[in-house]
Amino acid sequence: MSGFATLAMINLDAADPAGQARFYSEVLGWKVLHSQDEYAMIGDGSSSIGFGQVPGYSGPGWPQESAPKRYHLDFYVEDLDKAEEQALALGATKPAEQPQPDRWRVLLDPSGQPFDICIKS
């Protein structure tokens, strides 16, 4: 199947775009390409993620979501324990409920938005 468009980038809502950009640039090893209070962007030369400020935004949390979850990111990692430790050191938190902790882990970024670290199988 052929489409008529290509993905330019992903933009995510955030209360603190610069903080989100710093966090995910460290998680992914990508550069912060732009950083202001109202908008920030990271990239690796072929893909980009932007973070746009939405006043009053707060992450939904997990597993008891206080607001509907709009998205979550999944990342492949080589070692779950090591990746979890690194993410926690950057400011992520780990909810007590973990559906399949031997295969993937749910973590919350500093804004409370869930993301998963997964073993590539």
pLDDT band at 4 (very low <50, low <70, confident <90, very high): low
pLDDT of 61: 77
pLDDT band at 68 (very low <50, low <70, confident <90, very high): confident
Could you read off the pLDDT of 44-55 as tens digits, one per residue? Answer: 999 999 999 999
Query: What CATH topology corresponds to 9-56?
Result: 3.30.720
Q: Are 110 and 20 in contact (CB under 8 A)?
A: yes
Per-chain mean pLDDT for the chain: 91
Query: What CATH topology corresponds to 58-120?
Result: 2,3-Dihydroxybiphenyl 1,2-Dioxygenase; domain 1 (3.10.180)
Cα–Cα distance measured from residue 115 to residue 121, given in angstroms and rounded to the nearest whole number: 18
Residues contacting 114, CB < 8 A, separation 6+: 59, 60, 61, 62, 69, 72, 106, 107, 108
Cα–Cα distance measured from residue 63 to residue 61, given in angstroms and rounded to the nearest whole number: 6
Domain with CATH 3.10.180.10 in the chain: 58-120
Could you read off the pLDDT of 69-97 as tens digits, one per residue? Answer: 777 899 999 999 999 999 999 999 999 99
Domain with CATH 3.30.720.120 in the chain: 9-56
